Structure 1
Amino acid sequence: MKIFIINPDFGVTPEQMAARCHLLSVHVGPDVELHMECLVENHIEIDSALDAALAAPEIIKMAVRAESEGYDAVVLYCFSDPAVDACREVVSIPVVGGGQASCLLAPLVGRQAGLLLADTARYAEKQLFVAQCGVDPARIAAIGGIEARGVDLWAERERVLDLLTEAGKNLLAAGRVQVLLLGCLSFLGLAHPLSERLGVPVVDPAVAPVALAECLVRQGLKTSRKAYPAPPLRKRTWQSGQL
């Protein structure tokens, strides 16, 4: 089984992507091959709705290429699930976004979950996003997070873990949630130590879509054309630029 992981941030090195795949490989079967690529045409990091929109054309092309190269599933390596619906329209293999996969898993291990973001400015956006993922907003009962702008999430892992610990304690202290959900895929690998510190389940948003993609492929499940009909055949052009 081959899973193609689209990292929608520009400038991630091959070594960094290989390291992420190595961490993820622990959570899938030995017969699963993980391959990650990032954006190369657009200098974008997904930190806003604008970024997600600008990255979409290249993400869609990468998904189409993945299917043509024989991959069994596509994973969007971002909690915002950029272009997920468009990708599902143009390929037949499963397309799994980090955000939706994580939100769907959280209710399986707790009645209400708390979402921890890497950007406190995006609380309102993510509150609406939860409903779009197919999860009753009442099941994601609280949103918190850390202010990670200016923080290297990979180089300062212990600091990030400490910040998440405090933010998680605050959500748990309110008594409304029993499980935590990390809302940024750069938090890969932090769910387990955070769970040990806080004593509650913590969903890793990077592991969730990869494991769920594997599950879909093993069951032979593909995207329903009733839900995601192929776009009408016609010529489409667009122009890339700077903003």
Structure 2
Amino acid sequence: MTDKKPLKIMYLNPVGDDAVVDPIFADMARDHKLPGTEVHVTALPKEHYAFSHIEFRTYEAMVTRGILRAVRAAAEEGFDALAIGCFYDTALHDAREISGDMIITGPCVAACEIAASLSNRFGIIVGRRKWIHQMQATVHSYGHAERLAGFYDVGLGVDDFQKDHAETNRRLLAAGRKAVEEDGAESLILGCTMEIGFYKEIEKELGVPVIDPSIAALKRAEYAAILKRQAGWVPSRKGSCESPPEAELAAFNVFAGDEPVFGSRIVIPAN
């Protein structure tokens, strides 16, 4: 890259800041980012978005405002790319409208792209059956309907995955075995960012690629940032990608107010 400035990536946890969860994502970023990449792991302000998960559309609707404000602020700070850290890809298309030259991705779209490059059929292991209807519609909208072997729920909510690692691993492995041995999945996606850290054991046991969606989102954002620097590829602003006029945003006071945009922020510097 001719531009020697570090790549700047934001991994946005779309819930209130969490002393347990954010360091897990920070460790993930530290382990997987390139040396020339600076990563900021951020979360929404807890005083306004006190959710520990957004499993329900109701919660998603409420955090969407916070996500859009965070995206706007990150673009103004000069970030190259931002990953929205929820497998629902919450507010992905909304965020892309107002991201400027900053590229937006999410765990679902990134993981599906990677799985499709590694295999012809993939299965997605999710926490609860509740999630499947919405996630299936999303995966189909990304063009992967024919590649999808199925969804496999393990009866765990977002807040449950990190409580008992042995039990979580047992359930994920059983679901993965069903996907591979019964339904012909050739790779697997873990369908929740809080399933982070379990992919290696499942991969070892089942012998197929297992995509951790948090890693996928971070690396897809980083790759997009590299292409932006090297090839000049920035988001389109034509047709359906058109952004709201700045004059209207100002007239409607869309981003007005002095409430905090971010709660926690952990910076993993370039090295």
- Does residue 1:199 correspond to 2:207, yes or no? yes
- Does residue 1:190 correspond to 2:190, yes or no? no
The residue number in structure 1 matching 2:243 is 230
Amino acid at match of 2:171: L
Amino acid at match of 1:108: S
Give the structure-2-normalised TM-score: 0.82
Question: Structure 1 158/24 Cα, relative in aligned 2: closer, same or farther at 3 Å?
Answer: farther
1:151-177 Cα deviation digits (max 9, x unpaired): 632232221111100111111221431
User: Conserved in 1, the CA contact under 8 Å of 2:125 and 2:152?
Assistant: yes
The residue number in structure 1 matching 2:165 is 157
**Cα offset for 1:24?**
2.5
**Cα offset for 1:207?**
0.4
Deviates more, 1:225-234 or 1:212-221: 225-234
Q: 1:43 aligns with which of 50, 53, 57?
A: 50
CA-atom RMSD in angstroms = 1.8
Q: 2:132 aligns with which of 118, 123, 130?
A: 123
User: Conserved in 1, the CA contact under 8 Å of 2:17 and 2:43?
Assistant: yes
In structure 2, list runs of 5 or more residues that go unmatched.
1-6, 256-271
> Counterpart of 2:32 in 1: which secondary structure?
coil
Give the structure-1-normalised TM-score: 0.91
Question: How far apart are the structure 1 equivalents of 2:176 and 2:119?
Answer: 15
Question: How far apart are the structure 1 equivalents of 2:114 and 2:167?
Answer: 27
Name segments (4+ residues, structure 1) moved above 3 Å.
none
Question: How far apart are the structure 1 equivalents of 2:183 and 2:77?
Answer: 48
Map 1:158-177 onto structure 2 (within 5 A): 158-177=166-185
Amino acid at match of 1:228: C
Question: Structure 1 151/48 Cα, relative in aligned 2: closer, same or farther at 3 Å?
Answer: closer
User: Conserved in 1, the CA contact under 8 Å of 2:55 and 2:158?
Assistant: no
Question: How far apart are the structure 1 equivalents of 2:119 and 2:220?
Answer: 18
1:210-238 Cα deviation digits (max 9, x unpaired): 10111111111321112411124241569
Question: How far apart are the structure 1 equivalents of 2:121 and 2:160?
Answer: 30
Equivalent pairs counted in the alignment come to 236
Map 1:55-204 onto structure 2 (within 5 A): 55-92=63-100, 93-132=102-141, 134-149=142-157, 152-204=160-212
- The alignment-based identity, stated in percent, is 24
1:59-79 Cα deviation digits (max 9, x unpaired): 100111111112211110010
**Cα offset for 1:29?**
0.6
1:73-126 Cα deviation digits (max 9, x unpaired): 111001011111111111120011111111111111111000100112222222
User: Conserved in 1, the CA contact under 8 Å of 2:127 and 2:156?
Assistant: yes
The residue number in structure 2 matching 1:241 is none
- Does residue 1:8 correspond to 2:14, yes or no? yes
In structure 1, list runs of 5 or more residues that go unmatched.
239-243
Question: How far apart are the structure 1 equivalents of 2:149 and 2:10?
Answer: 32
User: Conserved in 2, the CA contact under 8 Å of 1:104 and 1:135?
Assistant: no
Question: How far apart are the structure 2 equivalents of 1:136 and 1:152?
Answer: 28
